[in-house]
């Protein structure tokens, strides 16, 4: 039985990790940390976990965390990079659910996240944790950068097309909607029920922190610069991301049926991507609580614009579930272990 620890256990991604790991057959949680809640029982903060854990929150010390085989950082940006070097020296594997190691260009990272990187030398060593792309590298990794939620939905919807050169990569539009849990558990006016309910709005139109991650990863897949217009929206729901992606076919004679076959072949060995039949419309509730990404393809009026619909649960496939998937690969376990939960409906 492998031991895992979670740094930052009181946020939504932290408790989602606890939920998924509670029934994982091959690992046990040996430590869960929170500076603000140290000494308190996990089940006192999250009664949903009663009967699953007898742990108390503790301070995130190296001595405590080094007892684990894998440490998850479910912390704000800028935290993992300060503790990672010492833990790696102790032989601990790390999965960072924040953005500290996602972007290879350090200057770009500093620009978007407003701080100097504390261990820039480790960024090149980190493996980007999108299993549908980097599965073999993740198996050998000591440090994994868990992708962002929006970047996960966007990349999975576009990668087969970019890899095969089927679309104009200069003018991609990613029109994405997220539930309020994407803003985190911290108190903020915009996340209050009276502010978010019965409303719908775009935000970050001038620039969102996930944009450089999306552009960098798609550009790496393409081999050169990819132009993306990314507009996120806040929706009055708790969980879920729905990405509507628009791309112009570079070869209009390509049939939708052949593109469907391409997607099915690309993801046939990846258990957490469901390419739905032509004409489908995936809903966020069809993936709620699961590690699944559902994708559907459309070609309105048979013209040269392809519309790709991609739906995930932002807290699972967009965060904690993908992190557990990465952990399974790093530990040599079956990649689906602990992740076979059926989506919640209704």
Q: Tell me: the pLDDT tens digits for 148-165? A: 999 999 999 999 999 999
Q: Say what the pLDDT of residue 186 is.
A: 80
What local confidence, expressed as pLDDT, does residue 190 receive? 84
Ordered domains of the chain (ranges, CATH): 2-125 (3.40.50.720), 150-314 (3.30.360.10)
Residues 247 and 159: their CA atoms lie apart, in Å, by: 12
Mean pLDDT of all residues belonging to the chain: 96
Mean pLDDT of 163-181: 97
pLDDT-based confidence at residue 72 (cuts at 50, 70, 90): very high
pLDDT-derived band at 184 (thresholds 50, 70, 90) equals confident
At 127-144, the pLDDT tens digits run: 999 999 999 999 999 999
Query: In whole angstroms, what is the distance from residue 316 CA to residue 106 CA?
Result: 27
d(CA 136, CA 149): 22
Q: For residue 13, what pLDDT is reported?
A: 96
Mean pLDDT of 7-21: 95
pLDDT in tens, 272-331: 999 999 999 999 999 999 999 999 999 999 999 999 999 999 999 999 999 999 999 999
DSSP class per residue in 88-110: HHTT-EEEE-SSTTT-S-HHHHH
Describe the strand order of the beta sheet including 201-202 as a list of residue ranges.
201-202, 228-234, 172-178, 241-248, 305-312, 293-298, 273-275
Active-site annotation, residues: 149
Number of H helices, E strands in the chain: 12, 14
């Amino acid at each position: 039985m492998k031991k895992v620890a979670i740094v930052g256990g009181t946020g939504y991604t932290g408790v989602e990790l606890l939920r998924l790991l509670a029934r994982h057959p091959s690992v046990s949680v040996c430590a869960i940390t929170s500076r603000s809640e140290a000494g308190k029982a996990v089940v006192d903060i999250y009664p949903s976990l009663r009967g699953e854990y007898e742990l108390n929150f503790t301070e995130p010390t190296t001595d405590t965390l080094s007892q684990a085989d894998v440490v998850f950082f479910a912390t704000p940006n800028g935290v993992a990079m300060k503790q990672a070097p010492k833990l790696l020296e102790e032989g601990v594997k790390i999965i960072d659910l924040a953005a500290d190691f996602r972007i290879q260009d350090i200057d770009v990272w500093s620009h978007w996240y407003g701080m100097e990187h504390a261990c820039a030398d480790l960024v090149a060593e980190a493996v980007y944790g999108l299993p549908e792309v980097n599965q073999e590298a993740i198996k050998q990794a000591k440090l994994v950068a868990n992708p962002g939620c929006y970047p996960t939905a966007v990349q999975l919807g576009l990668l087969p097309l970019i890899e095969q050169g089927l679309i104009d990569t200069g003018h991609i539009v990613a029109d994405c909607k997220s539930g309020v849990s994407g803003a985190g558990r911290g108190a903020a006016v915009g996340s209050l029920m009276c502010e978010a309910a019965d409303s719908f709005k775009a935000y970050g139109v001038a620039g969102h922190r996930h944009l450089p991650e999306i552009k960098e990863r798609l550009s790496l897949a393409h081999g050169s610069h990819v132009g993306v217009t990314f507009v996120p929206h806040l929706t009055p729901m708790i969980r879920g991301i729905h990405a509507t992606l628009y791309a112009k076919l570079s070869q209009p004679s390509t049939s939708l049926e052949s593109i469907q076959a391409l997607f099915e072949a690309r993801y046939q060995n990846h258990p957490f991507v469901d390419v739905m039949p032509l004409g489908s419309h995936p809903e966020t509730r069809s993936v709620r609580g699961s590690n699944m990404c559902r994708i559907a393809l459309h070609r309105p009026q048979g013209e040269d614009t392809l519309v790709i619909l991609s739906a995930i649960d932002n807290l699972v496939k967009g965060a904690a579930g993908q992190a557990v998937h990465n952990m399974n690969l790093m530990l040599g376990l079956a990649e689906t272990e602990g992740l076979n939960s059926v989506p919640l409906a209704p």
